[in-house]
Amino acid sequence: MEINILKKVLSANDAVAETTRELFSENKVFAVNLMGSPGSGKTTLIEKTIEIMKDKFSVGVIEGDIFSTLDAERISKLNIPIAQINTGPFGGDCHLEAGWVKEAALTLELSKLDLIFIENVGNLVCPAEFDTGADKNVVVLSLPEGEDKPIKYPLMFRTSEVMLINKLDLLKVLKVDITHLLKNAEKVNPALSIFQVSAATGDGFDLWNEWLIKEMGKKRDKKSQIFFKT
């Protein structure tokens, strides 16, 4: 019974996710679903990416959390459009669902945006199960979490197109075998694109930003690698 109910919930969510994706496509907005554990550095990564890209691209954020608006308050200092989703009133779910993302997106002026970051609730399990309607799934894994997380939480890494290994600046002080981490991730998902970054220092962001711009270009115009609103 529980399995059948879960299947119905996921099927309903998938149907809404398609309409959410269509909404983003109609407005030529590239949407990234950013997932990862609490403390992996998702918010800092969004801040650093926006700081680098905001002169060329219009960026918005849909901020997901169980309670509080702390992360949205941080990002608001960058003067960009933000929509907050708190799952607490809906039972404190540890993930974002497509319907909530769609409603949040409709509060933003999508026609004026090039890129939207959907910061999912901090968790390596539930967010991987629910399609948000984003164009791409990206998982942030920080070095302090260790090399074993792709093996222990494989669905998260299988449903993601990109893994950002964050907090690279701590590599010298942590006993983390980054080669082992890379092998574990590739074992779970050989197609995973992997970038090593430090959201604190900005190291490694050139390749991450290049990937974003390339993917935005594909959505805007398959013949173009530049994605600007006209």
| Mean predicted confidence (pLDDT) in 126-144 | 97
Q: Are 166 and 37 in contact (CB under 8 A)?
A: no
**Domains of the chain, first to last:** 2-140+202-220 (3.40.50.300)
Quick: pLDDT tens for 9-24. Answer: 688 999 999 999 999 9
What's the CA gap between 37 and 163, in Å, rounded?
13
Angle between helices 42-53 and 205-220 (to 10 degrees): 70
Q: Are 209 and 117 in contact (CB under 8 A)?
A: no
Structure tokens at 167: 């907090």
> Of 76-80, 110-114, 215-219, which range is least confident?
215-219
End-to-end CA distance of the chain: 51
Per-chain mean pLDDT for the chain: 92
> Of 38-52, 176-190, 210-224, which range is least confident?
210-224
pTM of the model: 0.91
What's the CA gap between 50 and 43, in Å, rounded?
11
Considering only CA atoms, which of 206, 24, 44 is closest in space to residue 116? 24
Structure tokens at 120: 């999912």
What's the CA gap between 222 and 176, in Å, rounded?
40
Sole residue written with tokens 């918010």 = 43
Whether the pLDDT of residue 2 is over 50: the answer is no
What's the CA gap between 226 and 98, in Å, rounded?
28
* Bridge partner list, 190: none
Q: Are 47 and 72 in contact (CB under 8 A)?
A: no
Q: Tally Cβ neighbours within 10 Å of residue 111.
A: 11
Sole residue written with tokens 């990109």 = 162
What's the CA gap between 38 and 26, in Å, rounded?
32
Quick: pLDDT tens for 150-174. Answer: 999 999 999 999 999 999 999 999 9
